[in-house]
Chains A and B, each alone.
Chain A
Amino acid sequence: GAVVSQHPSWVICKSGTSVKIECRSLDFQATTMFWYRQFPKQSLMLMATSNEGSKATYEQGVEKDKFLINHASLTLSTLTVTSAHPEDSSFYICSAWGLLVGTDTQYFGPGTRLTVL
C-alpha cells in the first residue's frame, strides 16, 4: 500500500522560533496533501488543503501567516509553524491523495508531536 512519512515525529522548540514539518509520499505522487491538527483525545481538525504547485487553501479560523504550507513537488509538502507559542503545541497529521493510488481514499502520515516551551 501507499506510504506517507512525516519528519520529525517529535519536536520540542522554544517559544518564538519556527518549526518545519515535512510530509512525504514515498511510493506515489500526491496531487493533494492535507494538514490536520489533533489535540489530546480530540478529533482531527482540517487545517488546509495543498495542491502541488498552488497556494494552499486554509480552513476558516486557521491563520495562513502562522501556518505556512508549501507543496513544491508531487512527493513533498511542508508545514512551517512560525513564531510558535505554547498554544501551538499539538499533534499534526498530514495525509496525501494521488490519482495513481485510486480516487477513494487518502493515506495518512504517522503524525508529528510539537511541543512549544
Chain B
Amino acid sequence: AQTVTQSQPEMSVQEAETVTLSCTYDTSESDYYLFWYKQPPSRQMILVIRQEAYKQQNATENRFSVNFQKAAKSFSLKISDSQLGDAAMYFCAYRLLPNTGNQFYFGTGTSLTVIP
C-alpha cells in the first residue's frame, strides 16, 4: 500500500524567509511521480511542483524547490522568499504511473502561515 506522511501539521514562516515542508512516503514501486499541491481557502488544488522518481535532479520552479531522496523515500519542499500569498494548505502527493493505476495518494497536509 502507498502511504504519504507529512509530520508537520502546521508551519509558520516570516515573510521573505525560507521554509521547508517535510514529506515521506512508502512504496514498493520503482517508478512513480511525486507532487506538492497547494490548497488555498478557495479549496482549488494548485500544482506547485512535481518530480519524476527516475530523475535524480531535484525539481525547481521559481521560488519552490524540492529535496528528493529516493533511497530515504523523502520529498521535502523548500519555499524561498516566502510571500503572503504562499499561505495555504500544502499537500504532498504520490502518484502511480498510468500503467499501474494512475491514482494519487495524498499526505495529511501542512498548514503554512506567512507572518508579515
Contacts and interface: CB of A to CB of B under 8 A. Distances in A.
Asked if A and B are interacting partners, one says yes
Interface of A: 32, 34, 36, 38, 41-46, 49, 91, 93, 95, 97, 103-106, 108, 110-111
A42 B109 contact: yes
A49 B96 CA distance: 13
Contacts of B91: 43-44
A43 B102 contact: no
B15 interface: no
A104 B50 CA distance: 9
Most chain B beta carbons < 10 A, residue from A36, A42, A44, A111: A44
B47 interface: yes
- Interface of chain A, helix or strand or loop or mixed? strand
A31 B24 CA distance: 30
A102 to B, nearest CB: 11
B112 to A, nearest CB: 13
The 9 closest A-B pairs by CB, nearest first: A108-B45, A43-B106, A44-B106, A43-B108, A110-B44, A111-B43, A43-B109, A103-B98, A46-B103
Contact of B43 (A43, A46, A110): A110
Interface of B: 33, 35, 42-45, 47, 50, 52, 89, 91, 95, 98, 101-109, 111
A46 B105 CA distance: 7
Contacts of B89: 41
A91 B43 contact: yes
A46 B107 CA distance: 12
A69 B83 CA distance: 40
B44 A95 contact: no
Nearest to A108: B45
